[in-house]
């Protein structure tokens, strides 16, 4: 606040001084605004760890998504094999969906698991308008909490939870093949959009429910699958998008007009994909409120480019992040084996800028979120200790960094110990701090303990 105050005082002084010389004060103010730089990041973020905590039990535990509760605490989702420690309601050693709530200081408030006798995993969690939560994932079970039908190997699984974690309803969606849910959010009409991948070969072409086919009929393997649900989790329509190879979606945003921006990765070069750059690309779609494909764009180069997260920008555009191994076409610079790659694009799908972040080894981003100050925070994983990466604590670290509207790197920090540490999700708290979620095998450095196997970890930075 002090820096903003002195900028204001300085601007006022310039106006008074320029008026005494007979210059136009409005012109002077406009010139001053044009030359102002971004406010210092350290006025809102110091980069100091407030707390670092491991969550889980003696087996493998993962957290992949987080949201802030209305009471200021945090609710996180993932999956667990443990039956002890922070996991108090599980008896089998299969993977179950795991949702855990902590206080603002990281103390466990409650921990609950959901699933059946086979593998069940959560991939996203977000708040709903009634104070509860909606969880996306996938399941192989047909018993226990999975009362809805299991149609095949894996099905998309949606779970509606109360604010206390009680299961209100659940529903599965899929066919005979490997169908997985990766994201679900409440939509403006009170229902939900669930995004996942559908094995169109195994479904025999089924999956376009109450929708006409896309621009072609050649679909195979995995396609983007958008499933629109009502408030009770029943299908209103479903539609798949892709080509003859593998197309996997991870994130989406609903626009004010009810349409959606979907993002993920694709190595197809046919059917719904019109401009494959080579290997896997970032693949961005705009679909109407009824699922009709409006436009699609590929971003990338001749190598593998994988896209995981999407944020709407303050100027009404979008930024996507993931990783790239390319150094040509849309990718202007490659620092190492793979870099974090961010692409800003407008509402027509045209690139406004792109930038790579990383060192000489391997970096990959999993989540981007807007900050209240107009910046964007990114959680990634890193093996480097050079170029954009200041240090490395061990084999692989969680890597947190901040960029501005133009993609300039403003701040970066590695989190981890001497073993494997991965960042998965990030959010800005209501108090302006940053919460990072991931998994770790370390018990040193920034990681205070290891409960056994792989642990989930949460780190708060001020």
Tens digits of pLDDT across the chain (462 residues): 333 333 333 333 333 333 334 444 333 333 333 434 555 555 457 889 999 999 999 999 999 999 999 999 999 999 999 999 999 999 999 999 999 999 999 999 999 999 999 999 999 999 999 999 999 999 999 999 999 989 989 999 999 999 999 999 999 999 999 999 999 999 999 999 999 999 999 999 999 998 665 555 678 889 999 999 999 999 999 999 999 999 999 999 999 999 999 999 999 999 999 999 999 999 999 999 999 999 999 999 999 999 999 999 999 999 999 999 999 999 999 999 999 999 999 999 999 999 999 999 999 999 999 999 999 999 999 999 999 999 999 999 999 999 999 999 999 999 999 999 999 999 999 999 999 999 999 999 999 899 989 999 999 999
- What is the rounded distance in angstroms from the CA atom of residue 83 to the CA atom of residue 92? 7
> Is residue 6 included in any domain, yes or no?
yes
> Is residue 26 included in any domain, yes or no?
yes
Angle at 182 between CA 269 and CA 258, to 5 degrees: 80
> Is residue 3 included in any domain, yes or no?
yes
Contacts of 371 (CB under 8 A, 6+ apart): 44, 377, 402, 428
Phi, psi at 410, each rounded to 5°: -105, -30
- What is the rounded distance in angstroms from the CA atom of residue 127 to the CA atom of residue 112? 17
- What is the rounded distance in angstroms from the CA atom of residue 330 to the CA atom of residue 303? 11
Edge to edge, what strands does the sheet with 49-55 contain? 49-55, 455-461, 434-440, 421-428
> Is residue 58 included in any domain, yes or no?
no
> Is residue 309 included in any domain, yes or no?
no
Q: Per the structure, how many domains does the chain have?
A: 1
> Is residue 12 included in any domain, yes or no?
yes
> Is residue 330 included in any domain, yes or no?
no
- What is the rounded distance in angstroms from the CA atom of residue 167 to the CA atom of residue 153? 23
> Is residue 227 included in any domain, yes or no?
no
Contacts of 303 (CB under 8 A, 6+ apart): 278, 279, 324, 325, 326, 327
Q: Which residue has the tokens 């200790």?
A: 385
Contacts of 37 (CB under 8 A, 6+ apart): none
Domain that holds residue 26: 1-36
- What is the rounded distance in angstroms from the CA atom of residue 462 to the CA atom of residue 460? 7
């Amino acid at each position: 606040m002090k820096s903003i105050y002195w900028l204001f005082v300085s601007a006022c002084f310039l106006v008074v001084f320029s008026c005494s010389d007979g210059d136009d004060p409005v012109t002077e103010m406009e010139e001053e605004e044009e030359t102002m730089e971004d406010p210092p990041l350290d006025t809102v973020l110091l980069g100091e760890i407030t707390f670092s905590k491991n969550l889980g039990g003696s087996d493998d535990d993962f957290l992949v998504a987080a949201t802030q509760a209305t009471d200021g605490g945090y609710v996180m989702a993932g999956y667990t094999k443990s039956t002890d420690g922070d996991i108090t309601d599980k008896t089998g050693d299969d993977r179950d969906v795991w949702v855990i709530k902590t206080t603002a200081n990281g103390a466990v408030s409650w921990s609950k698991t959901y699933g059946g006798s086979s593998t069940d995993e959560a991939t996203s969690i977000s708040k709903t308008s009634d104070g509860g939560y909606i969880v996306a994932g996938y399941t192989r079970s047909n018993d226990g909490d999975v009362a809805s039908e299991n149609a095949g190997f894996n099905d998309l699984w949606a779970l509606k939870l109360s604010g206390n974690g009680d299961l209100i309803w659940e529903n599965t969606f899929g066919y005979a093949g490997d169908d997985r849910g990766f994201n679900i959010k409440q939509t403006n009409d009170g229902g939900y959009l669930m995004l996942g991948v559908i094995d169109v070969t195994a479904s025999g072409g089924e999956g376009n429910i109450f929708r006409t086919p896309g621009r072609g009929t050649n679909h195979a393997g995995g396609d983007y699958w958008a499933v629109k649900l009502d408030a009770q989790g029943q299908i209103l329509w479903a539609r798949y998008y892709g080509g003859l190879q593998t197309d996997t979606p991870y994130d989406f945003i609903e626009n004010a007009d009810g349409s959606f921006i979907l993002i993920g990765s694709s190595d197809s070069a046919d059917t719904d994909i019109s401009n494959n750059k080579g290997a896997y690309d970032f693949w961005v779609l705009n679909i109407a409120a009824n699922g009709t494909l409006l436009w699609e764009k590929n971003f990338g180069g001749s190598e593998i480019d994988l896209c995981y997260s999407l944020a709407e920008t303050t100027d009404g555009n979008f930024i996507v992040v993931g990783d790239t191994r390319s150094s040509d076409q849309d990718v202007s610079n490659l620092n190492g084996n793979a870099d974090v790659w961010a692409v800003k694009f407008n509402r027509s799908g045209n690139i406004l800028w792109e930038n790579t972040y990383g060192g000489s080894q391997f970096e990959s981003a999993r989540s981007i979120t807007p900050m209240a100050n107009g910046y964007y925070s990114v959680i990634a994983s890193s093996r480097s200790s050079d170029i954009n990466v200041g240090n490395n604590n061990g084999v692989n670290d969680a890597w947190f960094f901040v960029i501005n509207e133009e993609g300039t790197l403003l701040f970066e920090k590695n989190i981890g110990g001497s073993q494997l540490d991965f960042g998965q999700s990030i959010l800005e708290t209501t108090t302006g701090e940053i919460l990072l979620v991931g998994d770790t095998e370390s018990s040193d450095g920034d990681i205070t303990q290891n409960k056994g196997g792989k642990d989930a970890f949460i780190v708060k930075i001020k």
